[in-house]
């Protein structure tokens, strides 16, 4: 029988009144007294419970039945219908949900489509064979990217948990993955929001009659600056710079005030204000969970597509646009024999879709249990890849125009790093157009919207993970989000210092790249080989009503091998030498500091695994078996809230004709 842990006395009294009139046989008198005594017992969080194994679930509600507590349920007596409605109302009180299906879809799209689609994919594409690069890109999407993306959506939606507590329900031995993900989220938040702050700075600077990077007649310009874009070197052979390049380096970053990684030169006040605006937007997107972020994504996830369309139309009307597009898509099939191309395709699709960062687990955990996450995964992957190619057309149509202005090949117009493309090259092209202030403003607004939904999704992964671990944090979520944003704001100061150009590549290299690949490798091993594809497939059937096909099960079986290959290639290419940034070489101690940051996340997995095994009893073999066995809890009202399809008292729903055996 169902033991009620009442959250509201009024609902409890109403339920007992209904039981006394129409369902007196449901609870015996002793049980009724125990219910009354349980009024003082505080209900555990939904994250502390694991849904029952499939074999223990007697029945599942058909997808045709609405989960709306206000909607009547056909074929139920009024008393039983009221009890089921009460169950559903109680479920909604335990964990927040997305207001609509579209909000979740926009949130996932906003997370997957980020700044990397604008500045990374186009350059990776043309460097590795142009149009021919799409062949390995599509193959890697089908073999690794899409299956892993789908898997994380399923895990979050089925277990209704964030990146920390979910591993108790899959394989407790790997619980350290969740804490490692939190470290990675912190490193990303430190430098990623600093990049968005630069876009904010550019957007405000664009609100003028003429953009300030149009000419060299400014206080920050040097004698090397040249208004003539056709001239790249002086008579003495010295390399000349463009107005936009000097504006970014000497006005936005003020890099002349920093001599290197060991002398960052302090924090720039104006950039600190821009960063504060970014974290203010992040806070109000996160403070109420899906209720607030679901409203924000209607703007941040849709605005970039309108702006990209405007910029593409403008780019196609410029002279030389066809030259840039041909350079972008012309296939070089000889590159397909180069292993580096396939490695680049795998890495690009992986970081583009973004599994392993805990974000997909957090976002999908707020879904309805029977939401069609299979369709969401396919639709989001198609939109993400389409956006990457679409944004490449926008960028290279404009780069073709720059090639026409400078009389240089398109390949020489593109800068050496990602930041140069969106903060130097593209702004310079915009400065030469009519209405340059308007096009510059909407371009940087697009960068802000692309970045803001990705960054608050990343921070949501950490917040959801810790809120699932603590009822106190869940109850005071607004204050917890505020504390996280304030702490991240001050931790981001090195990234908005005058030495920004040294901090960002350092954190990106040591804090993210290798660490997240290690986390995903462990995640795939835990789910595919310990939890098991068979049990995972049954979980999908419990939610969606069908088993995944042979394609999905095969890809999941070999996903650990696929991601391990990428991880191995990354380790092979890594070294213990300091980072080389142009003519500047980082100090030797930066390698030690970098590996310490990297090991903070990597060592979380083995350390927590050893602690968990040490806390067990019995022989080492018994402890290991216990550590890899998913934890289960006796069903209660809160576990029903975590999984609405767990019908505890099946006699309630006997009259329903829409039940299908699982």
Residue set of the binding site: 110, 112-113, 117, 352, 384, 450, 453-454
d(CA 278, CA 195): 10
Q: How far apart are CA 481 and CA 646, in angstroms?
A: 32
List binding-site positions for Na(+): 110, 112-113, 117, 352, 384, 450, 453-454
Rounded to whole angstroms, how far apart are CA atoms 23 and 47? Answer: 31
Phi, psi of 518 (to 5 degrees): -65, -40
Residues 6+ apart with CB under 8 A from 554: none
Give 309's contacts (C-beta < 8 A, 6+ positions apart): none
Q: Where are the alpha helices (DSSP H) in 54-96?
A: 78-94
CB 608 within 8 A of CB 524: no
Place of tokens 């597509």: 305
Q: How far apart are CA 148 and CA 353, in angstroms?
A: 9
Distance of CA 415 to the CA centre of its chain: 27
Name the burial class of residue 350, with classes exposed (0-12), middle (13-18) and buried (19+) by CB atoms within 10 angstroms of its CB. Answer: buried
Q: Which two tokens stand for residue 152?
A: 């994380």
| Residues 6+ positions from 285 with CB-CB distance below 8 Å | 292, 293, 296, 452, 453, 456
- Residue 146 · residue 556 · CB < 8 Å: no
Task: Answer whether 363's CB lies under 8 Å from 460's CB.
Answer: yes
Distances (CA, A) of 466 to 167, 356, 469: 13, 17, 5
DSSP conformation letters of 239-278: BPB-HHHHHIIIIIS-GGG--BTTB---B-HHHHHHHHHH
Helices 290-300 and 303-316 cross at an angle (nearest 10°) of 10
- In angstroms, the CA 317 to CA 321 distance is 7
d(CA 292, CA 107): 11
Encode 374-387 in three state secondary structure: HHHHHHHHHHHHHH
Backbone dihedral region for residue 433 (phi beyond 0: left; psi -120 to 50: alpha; all else: beta): beta
In angstroms, what CA-CA distances link 12 with 15, 77, 273, 488, 635?
Answer: 5, 19, 51, 42, 18
CA–CA distance, 558 with 196 (Å, rounded to integer): 37
| Cα separation, 154 vs 156, whole angstroms | 6
Report the distance separating Cα 458 and Cα 363, nearest Å.
Answer: 10
Rounded Cα–Cα distance for residues 523 and 511 (Å): 18
Give the DSSP H or E segment for 313: helix 303-316
Structure-token match 């899906």, residue found: 290
Closest Cα to residue 462, out of 111, 154, 152, 181? 181
* Residue 24: both structure tokens together: 């007196």
Contact indicator for 369, 643 with CB cutoff of 8 Å: yes
Maximum Cα–Cα distance across the chain: 99
């Amino acid at each position: 029988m169902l033991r009620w842990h009442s959250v509201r006395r009024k609902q409890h009294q109403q339920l007992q009144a209904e039981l006394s009139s129409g369902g007196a046989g449901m609870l015996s008198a002793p049980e009724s007294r125990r219910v009354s005594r349980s009024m003082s017992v505080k209900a555990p969080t939904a994250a502390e419970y694991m849904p029952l194994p499939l074999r223990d679930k007697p029945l599942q509600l058909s997808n045709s039945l609405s989960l709306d507590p206000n909607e009547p349920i056909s074929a139920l007596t009024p008393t039983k219908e009221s009890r089921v409605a009460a169950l559903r109302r109680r479920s909604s009180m335990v964990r927040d949900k997305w207001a609509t299906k579209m909000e979740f879809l926009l949130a996932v799209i906003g997370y997957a489509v980020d700044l990397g689609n604008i500045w990374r994919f186009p350059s990776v594409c043309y460097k590795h064979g142009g149009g021919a690069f799409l062949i390995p890109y599509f193959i890697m999407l089908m073999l690794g990217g899409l299956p892993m993306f789908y898997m994380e959506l399923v895990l979050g939606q089925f277990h209704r948990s964030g990146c920390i507590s979910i591993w108790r329900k899959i394989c407790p031995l790997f619980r350290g993955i969740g804490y490692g993900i939190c470290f990675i989220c912190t490193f990303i938040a430190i430098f990623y929001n600093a990049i968005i702050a630069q876009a904010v700075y550019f957007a405000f600077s664009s609100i003028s009659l003429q953009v300030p990077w149009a000419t060299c007649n400014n206080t920050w310009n040097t004698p090397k600056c040249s208004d003539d874009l056709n001239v790249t070197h002086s008579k003495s052979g010295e390399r000349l710079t463009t107005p936009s390049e000097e504006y970014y380096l000497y006005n936005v970053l003020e890099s002349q005030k920093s001599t290197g990684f060991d002398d960052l030169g302090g924090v720039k006040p104006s950039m600190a204000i821009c960063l504060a605006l970014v974290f203010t937007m992040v806070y109000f997107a996160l403070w109420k969970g899906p209720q607030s972020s679901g409203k924000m994504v209607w703007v941040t996830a849709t605005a970039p597509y309108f702006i990209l369309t405007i910029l593409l139309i403008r780019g196609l009307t410029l002279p030389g646009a066809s030259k840039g597009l041909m350079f972008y898509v012309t296939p070089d099939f000889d590159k397909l024999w180069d292993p580096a191309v396939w490695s680049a395709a795998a890495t690009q699709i992986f970081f583009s879709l973004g599994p392993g960062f805990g974000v997909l687990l957090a976002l999908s955990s707020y879904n309805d249990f029977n939401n069609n996450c299979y369709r969401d995964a396919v639709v989001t992957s198609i939109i993400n890849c389409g956006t990457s190619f679409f944004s490449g057309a926008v960028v290279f149509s404009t780069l073709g125009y720059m090639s026409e202005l400078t009389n240089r090949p398109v390949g020489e117009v593109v800068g050496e790093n990602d930041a140069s493309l969106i903060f130097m090259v593209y702004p310079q092209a915009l400065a030469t157009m009519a209405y340059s202030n308007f096009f510059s403003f909407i371009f940087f607004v697009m960068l802000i919207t692309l970045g803001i939904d990705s960054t608050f999704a990343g921070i949501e992964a950490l917040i959801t993970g810790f809120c699932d671990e603590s009822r106190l944090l869940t109850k005071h979520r607004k204050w917890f989000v505020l504390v996280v944003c304030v702490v991240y704001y001050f931790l981001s100061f090195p990234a908005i210092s005058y030495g920004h150009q040294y901090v960002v590549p350092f954190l990106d290299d040591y804090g993210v790249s290798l660490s997240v690949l290690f986390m995903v490798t462990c995640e795939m091993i835990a789910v595919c080989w310990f939890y098991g594809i068979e049990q995972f497939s049954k979980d999908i059937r419990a939610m969606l009503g069908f088993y995944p096909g042979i394609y999905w099960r095969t890809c999941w079986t070999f996903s650990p091998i696929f991601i391990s290959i990428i991880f191995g290639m990354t380790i092979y290419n890594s070294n213990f030498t300091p980072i080389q940034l142009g003519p500047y070489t980082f100090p030797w101690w930066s390698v030690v500091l970098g590996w310490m940051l990297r090991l903070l996340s990597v060592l979380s997995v083995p350390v927590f695994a050893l602690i968990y095994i040490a806390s067990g009893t019995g022989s080492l073999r018994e402890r290991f078996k216990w550590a890899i066995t998913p934890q289960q809890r006796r069903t209660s009202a809160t576990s029903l809230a975590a999984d609405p399809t767990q019908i505890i008292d099946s006699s309630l729903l006997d009259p329903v004709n829409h039940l299908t055996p699982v």
